[in-house]
Amino acid sequence: MRLAAPSILVTTQVDEIIARKDVELVVEAASQDTVKALAFRILEAGKNMLIMSTGALTDDRFYADLERKAQEKHVRIYLPSGAICGLDGVRSASIQEIRSVTLTTTKHPKSLEGAPYIKEKQIDLRSLAEPTTVFIGTAREAIKGFPMNVNVAACLSLAGIGADKTMVRIVADPSASKTQHEINVVGDFGELYTRVRNVVHPENPRTSFLAALSAVRTLKGIAEPIQIRA
């Protein structure tokens, strides 16, 4: 990838992005639907892409098609680690057998308002007086039910044993001042445990500040001559 002087274009018009020959990398920070609607056109135009809404990639066919398109156009797709840590260890562990991966996410109820699963199950988040488990299931189910809340489950699934084997538990805690993600992985390598307590992003209560920082870190890493990898 050619690295020229920084040139940043902020726009909602994909045609404008595609038309600009000096745009080499597109950062998506919108939604899973946006990824599915626009990713192919961006890659087809020969542009690299950084995807924040990684939940879109748990659609196995979409993931495979996107990978083929990136290979065909000789471009790359970058996936930031988001609001969690330890993905480097999970990726290394996946070289051998991983027997279980679990993610427990604890958020303030306000962060979960409007989620399809909450609406479907008619869960009254405002009535909760103590930490309450509102969801237990696979990462694929979690991403479908909470598309704006648990993209970290997608990253974890892609790094490890997939969206159907990665288990997710979501806890709504009215006393939570931070968003917490706990990961436990067991396999041939041993056991990995991480816990992150994130400050909520000041402009978007559904995501963590660390998620935005991880995107910036990924962009910086692309240009660095020495890179630390799993």
pLDDT in tens, 117-150: 999 999 999 999 999 999 999 999 999 999 999 9
Is 181 designated active site? yes
**Mean pLDDT over each residue of the chain, to the nearest integer:** 93
Domains defined for the chain, CATH in brackets: 14-79 (3.40.50.720), 87-207 (3.30.360.10)
Query: CA–CA separation, 107 vs 201, rounded Å?
Result: 13
Q: Answer whether 28's CB lies under 8 Å from 79's CB.
A: no
pTM above the 0.85 mark? Answer: yes
**8: pLDDT strictly greater than 80:** no
Strands 48-51, 77-78: pairing kind: parallel
**9: pLDDT strictly greater than 80:** no
